[in-house]
Amino acid sequence: MTDFAAARRMMVDGQIRTNDVTDLRLTAAMLEVPRERFVLPALAPLAYLDLDAPVSESGAARRLLKPMVLAKLIQAADVGENDRVLDVACATGYSSAVLARLAATVVALEEDAALARRASETLRATRNITIATGTLMAGWPAAAPYDVIVLNGATEIVPQTLLRQLKDGGRLVCVLGNGPAGTAMLYCRSGEEFGGRPIFDATAPVLPGFVKPPAFAF
Pick the CATH number of 66-201 from 3.30.590.20, 3.40.50.150, 3.20.20.70, 2.120.10.30: 3.40.50.150
pLDDT tens sequence for the chain (218 residues): 789 999 999 999 999 999 999 999 999 999 999 999 999 999 999 999 999 999 987 645 789 999 999 999 999 999 999 999 999 999 999 999 999 999 999 999 999 999 999 999 999 999 999 999 999 999 999 999 999 999 999 999 999 999 999 999 999 999 999 878 799 999 999 999 999 999 999 999 999 999 988 765 55
**Measured at the alpha carbon of residue 90, what is the angle toward residues 84 and 94, in degrees to the nearest 5?**
95
Instruction: Report domain extents, the chain.
Output: 66-201
Element (H or E) spanning 201, and its range?
strand 193-201
